[in-house]
Chain A
Amino acid sequence: MKDEVTREERVDNLKGMGCSRKRVEDARFTQGKGNYVDDVKLDGMIFGDFVRSPYAHARIKSIDTAAALEVPGVLAVLTAADLEPLGLHWMPTLAGDKQMVLADGKVLFQGQEVAFVVAEDRYAAADGIEAVEVEYEELPVLVDPFEALKSDVVLREDLVAEDGSIPDGAHGPRKHANHIFTWEAGDKDPTEEVIANADIVAEEEMYYHRTHPCPLETCGCVASMDKVNGKLTLWGTFQAPHAIRTIVSLISGLEEHNIRVISPDIGGGFGNKVGAYPGYVCSVVASIVTGKPVKWIEDRMDNLMTTAFARDYWMKGKISATKEGKITGLHCHVTADHGGFDACADPTKFPAGFMNICTGSYDIPTAYLEVDGVYTNKAPGGVSYRCSFRVTEAVYFIERMIEVLAIKLDMDAAELRRINFIKKEQFPYTAALGWEYDSGDYHTAWDKALKAVDYEGLRAEQAQRVEDFKAGKTRKLMGIGLSFFTEIVGAGPVKNCDILGLGMFDSCEIRIHPTGSAIARLGTISQGQGHATTFAQILASEIGLPADSITIEEGDTDTAPYGLGTYGSRSTPVAGAATAMAGRKIRAKAQMIAAYLLEVHDNDVEFDVDRFVVKGAPEKFKTMKEIAFAAYNQAIPGIEPGLEAVSYYDPPNMTYPFGAYVCVMDIDVDTGVPEIRRFYALDDCGTRINPMIIEGQVHGGLTEALAVALGQEIAYDDMGNCKTGTLMDFFLPTAWEVPNYETDYTVTPSPHHPIGAKGVGESPHVGGVPCFSNAVQDAFRPFGNTHTNMPHDHWRIWKAANELGLHG
């Protein structure tokens, strides 16, 4: 039989790796046919919602639910007193702390959950909430972590012993009642010595403000306890459904096989949907109590004010260098504001996440990092908003310190980076704070980026602009923002990464159907990343069946293999690797079947795109489709029927994507309005699975970076009132505010990942924030600016100009 189709066409037909395959999810999303948790509607379903505290710190003297129970449609009102007999009035957090499910005697932040009103519909629940009478006694409020560490006001009485002593916390000794932990990395004394004796030392203090991931879909769940068979089904906005199942089992006492957790379509997560919230616990309890399915869905204000925030790091740095600009040491201290409970979503052994990637992309021989976590009267959280654990903070820190050092050295910041980059031949490179970077080629990426934007030309133009400004010819300054980042993603190796003891491997299970199509299930869950598209592409290339014939399924713990979910750009590095490995098991069995069918030895056939061919005789082959059919329908001696595989992948290392970004910005000195003229983003995420999806991820991550850098914040007044609880004040950019992005790439595969891919979803955010910020700072550099804090909204930019005397 003559093969009419060329090899190239066979490759194209697979739509495998490297193909800009259209997203298969979008057919339903663009038609409004997604199935989100609020679309789950069950017979007899009832609704729950919270009475929330108007105060940031108060004792609860009484809760009177009588009037609420009179409201038509209200079925029950749960308080901590009702949960206590079940041991559910508090719950463990991912960070080893515990958190009140419903206020137990006091409240620690505005918006805290005080009572759970269960009603026949949402309207009745809302009226019931108004009718619950809570008597509060206000307590002194601590919103400043530095004050909190000095104050006599104790936020967490539960963490102070009867004799007034401070017991150790989950991460070791605590220095004060409001102190959570001290976490260190690197060598303190040598670092301090290097800095003390250095030619040049630059110091800076910077505040990385509190913000919020603000996914379009807020958090919510539907809990349905079937009292007949004893099974609990929990639909929800979970970025880690299996972890939620295990946690629910541990805290409720229900056996894990009796719990089914389902993450349906999720409308964005960005870290906000990793943790467990009181709404989940209360919904489960309410369902057990009433025997009915219970739905709880946050509104926008609930989401912004009470579910996991991000950042809130006060960072103090010292960086030392030779006169020529070679960096010799880095010192970083962080005061981390964690709010009322420590509910950070980090691998358990890393209470400050991977903040110790803060030496960045540079060959810095000596470094030391110390982080102090502090309780304040703010909402708990501390999630990684579109970044791996605290990596955005780390990269912002080092990319600002580099700029500050450049000023001190009176040197070009691009050149300073160039002379300090880790060199290509130094990989795998072990950084001073412990991480082993897998691969990189920073100089190539940097040179490509600077050339693409005509960096020299931009600097000349900027110099001219400064002249014109001084001569009164313009009121606009020009800023050139640079950033070079290294991400650390793909948590992670079970030997050092776990969450509450759950190892951070991931998984893939594949079943090939007899007619040559397939289903693969993974332990991750897409929230918009396009897993159904890209994982099918990985498999297509690995097993030679078209991506269009492969269904990807995630999010149902009854069917998907165990995995730790999707966040920290871990899906491709970990589950993507599991997918490739499972695919290779399929291929190994297929090889034996092919050899049998072709009547040759196993070693005499080789894989070629979508088939096995007899070596040296390509006209003799069996396609994967034929092999699949034979696997089920032909008795093959010594081989079991069927074609299935499962792989659990424990990554040997993290992956380290990197990138080079340049932003050109004009700043109206009089109004503080910035205008982004150009944004160039070069990303190296290793092997590229779907270039179109990468580009989409880069656009999204940059837009969230723009938001954070230029205005997005969760701000509190002195009384602990949240000032940014609606989208009128919480900055969510629209198409109007977003510039045109130019994307570019280099490819440096990960040497330890089966397909060399590193992950990309979070890179643009990590690299974007310092790039936008550096552009603002750079515009003011000629007038004496070294650093000014984000967010760079109009008034803060105006303030920076004003303080530099630019308003005459």
Chain B
Amino acid sequence: MIPAAFEYYRPKDMDGVLSILEEHGDDARVMAGGHSLIPMMKLRMADVPHLIDLQDVGGMSDIELTADSIRIGALVTQADIIDHARLAAAAPILREAALQIADPQVRYMGTIGGNVANGDPGNDMPGLMQCLNASFTVVGADGERDIPAREFYEAAYMTAREDEEVLTTVTIPLPKGGYAYEKQKRKIGDYATAAAAVQIVKDGSNCVSASIAMTNLSDTPIYSEDASAALVGTAVDAAALDAAVAAMLEDIDPTEDNRGPIAFKNHVAGVILRRAITRAWSRA
């Protein structure tokens, strides 16, 4: 569990980061909290001859709330998200989800930027961001661009971000309605067996909009448009729940691992989604 030798850089600004990235191409990688990257380097599953620590680059540690959106700097930690009272009031699902990630020690180090940029299907934030229809701002030599979370994930560890780009900000439209982040895991600190992020808006007794995303049930997070649509216009009754679950099951593609075989994962995915919808609906 000892990584191969690497050069360590700690630039003071983004220009410094970008120039090292440009010089070394995919031999260089940025590090935020290091709680996904360092374990992979120690297992020698990631070979990073040039490691660029982002901690001294300013301007990526703020949480800003405006009338219609939330902007979270890439270096904001999961612990910061949990502790931020105004954020918890504006988007309580963020806190509910962050509390189910890893354990307090990991959450003090792990960042939102690292969590969404990592591309590990086990990470919880990507699915959550798809549910919330967030977008990610990345900066590279050619300037900034925004990538919607729902278009960011291509395959395990493959994202729409180029190797020479750095993710700086996560922007989330102010969420509305009821919410729930439901996660089944084997123990504290474990990635999900199945997890569901749900936001539902209710008008009168009917659902007027819904958003559903699933975690660790495919090689990317799964935003299920059909499952979301199955709830809209219904009173979120048993039939609507069945339809949403059926639609979600069409979209996921779990694999067997130590958590269990595919049949089990599909079943649990359905149960977890049902519970998430029910809880979100009760809060809507």
Contacts and interface: CB of A to CB of B under 8 A. Distances in A.
Does chain A bind chain B? yes
Interface in B59-76: none
Interface string A708-732: 0001000100000001100011010
B184 A673 contact: yes
A736 B259 contact: no
Contacts of A299: 1
Interface stretch (A122-130, A144-152, A399-407): A122-130
Contacts of A794: 184, 186, 193, 259-260, 264, 268
A59 B143 CA distance: 56
Nearest to A670: B271
A795 B264 contact: yes
Interface in B1-17: 1-2, 4-5
A728 B190 contact: yes
A737 interface: yes
A733 interface: yes
B186 A126 contact: no
A205 to B, nearest CB: 22
B169 to A, nearest CB: 30
Interface in B175-213: 184, 186-191, 193
A734 B105 CA distance: 13
Nearest to B271: A670
A650 interface: no
B188 A734 contact: yes
A736 B1 contact: no
B2 A123 contact: yes
Contact of B261 (A731, A737, A795): A795
A794 B193 CA distance: 9
Please classify the interface of chain B as helix (H, G, I), strand (E, B), loop, or mixed, using the class held by over half of its residues: loop
A229 to B, nearest CB: 34
Contact of B187 (A122, A737, A798): A737
Nearest to A736: B188
A801 to B, nearest CB: 10
A123 B42 CA distance: 11
A802 B267 CA distance: 10
A798 B267 contact: yes
Nearest to A125: B2
Nearest to A129: B2
A498 interface: no
Contacts of B44: 130
A799 interface: yes
Contacts of A123: 2, 5
B260 A731 contact: no
Nearest to B265: A795
Given A793-B186, A794-B186, A807 B267 contact: yes
Nearest to A737: B187
A35 interface: no
Contact of A301 (B1, B188, B258, B264): B1
A796 to B, nearest CB: 8
A511 interface: no
A671 interface: yes
A584 interface: no
A711 B185 CA distance: 12
A731 B268 contact: no
A126 B2 contact: yes
B217 to A, nearest CB: 14
Contacts of B267: 670, 798, 802, 807
Given A671-B184, A734-B189, A798 B4 contact: no
A480 to B, nearest CB: 24
Given A126-B2, A301-B1, A734 B187 contact: yes
A122 B186 contact: no
Given A670-B271, A795-B264, A799-B264, A733 B187 contact: yes
A678 interface: no
B153 to A, nearest CB: 22
A604 B155 CA distance: 89
Interface string A670-685: 1111000000000000
20 contacts: A127-B5, A300-B1, A301-B1, A671-B268, A671-B271, A672-B268, A711-B186, A728-B190, A731-B186, A731-B187, A734-B187, A734-B189, A737-B188, A794-B184, A794-B186, A794-B260, A795-B259, A795-B260, A795-B261, A802-B267
Interface of B: 1-2, 4-5, 44, 103, 184, 186-191, 193, 258-261, 264, 267-268, 271-272
